[in-house]
Structure 1
Amino acid sequence: MDLRPGLATRVQLTVTDADTAQSLGSGDVPVLGTPRALALAEAATVALTAGRLPTGSTTVGVRVELDHLLATPVGGSVVAEAVVSEVDGRRLAFVVTLRQGEQVAARIRVDRMIVDREKFVAKAYA
């Protein structure tokens, strides 16, 4: 497993109508919805773990702390930078910063657990 504190990656999103609080049901304003900000943060953490886990393993989200600090309008772009902050056995902690240009749009901590993918899915559907 090649995961260690300090590893980082970035993903980008241009906000569309489908990404807004109005569309997601999390509010009634046409700006990036908090659920979509979280989904982008989690996508960054998943991208960071891709190809770095033991064969047959995946990660699942288990805990989130999110501060949504800036409204991003439709057409605006945000970049999510995920950094591994801690590796403790199967638990991985990430700090994700969403930026709109130079401004911080959100700060998010995401904890994920490494699981055996096949066993996890089988248990969920049992």
Structure 2
Amino acid sequence: MKALPSTLSASYTHEVTSRDTADQWRNDLPVLATPVLLWLGEITAMRALEGYLDEDEMTVGLSHDSSHLAPTPAGHEVHLTAVLRERDGARLTFDVHAHDGTDEILRGTHTRAVISRSRFLARLAAKSAPA
């Protein structure tokens, strides 16, 4: 991994569509689903790392410690930010926040790990091989 700047961050904007709502996840509410909101936080953190990973490197999500604070209906734009808070070896922890133009809707942390893409794919192939 290339050297990271002391203030690494990224922003991302996403328009909520009916595909993103909780009623697509076995819930009857037409609001942004929590799993989708967490995924958008991951995407934002990954964007912060664009250009810093070496050729055989990738990141994988390790954990979330976040709160989904308010409902957002389809048609609204969600604005997300991810700011690198801490680096501990291959572990990168980001502060993640999202706002829908009316309310703060996400506040928390997301941790990713930098790993070898080729080793990951080899482990996946071994696990996927017929027994």
- TM-score, normalization: structure 1? 0.93
Q: Please state if 1:18 is matched with 2:19.
A: yes
Alignment identity in percent?
A: 34
> Which runs of 4 or more aligned residues in structure 1 lie more than 3 Å from their structure 2 counterparts after TM superposition?
none
Aligned to 1:117: 117
- CA distance in 1 between counterparts of 2:112 and 2:7 reads 16
CA contact (8 A) 1:3 1:87 kept: no
Show the 5 A alignment for 1:31-50: 31-50=31-50
The AA in structure 2 aligned to 1:94 is F
SS in 1 for 2:58: strand
**Which residue in 2 is equivalent to 1:6?**
7
Name stretches of at least 5 consecutive residues in structure 2 with no aligned partner. 127-131
1:76 lines up with 2:90 in the alignment: no
* Unpaired runs of at least 5, structure 1: none
| Structure 2 residue matching 1:45: 3-state secondary structure | helix
Q: TM-score, normalised by structure 2?
A: 0.89
Worse-matched range after superposition: 50-59 or 74-83: 50-59
Note the aligned Cα RMSD (angstroms). 1.3
**Which is higher, the Rg of structure 1 or of structure 2?**
2
The aligned amino acid for 2:115 is V
1:53-85 per-residue CA deviation (whole Å, 9 max, x = no partner) reads: 122101001111120001001101111101000
**Residue identity in the other structure for 1:30:** P
Amino acid at match of 1:92: L
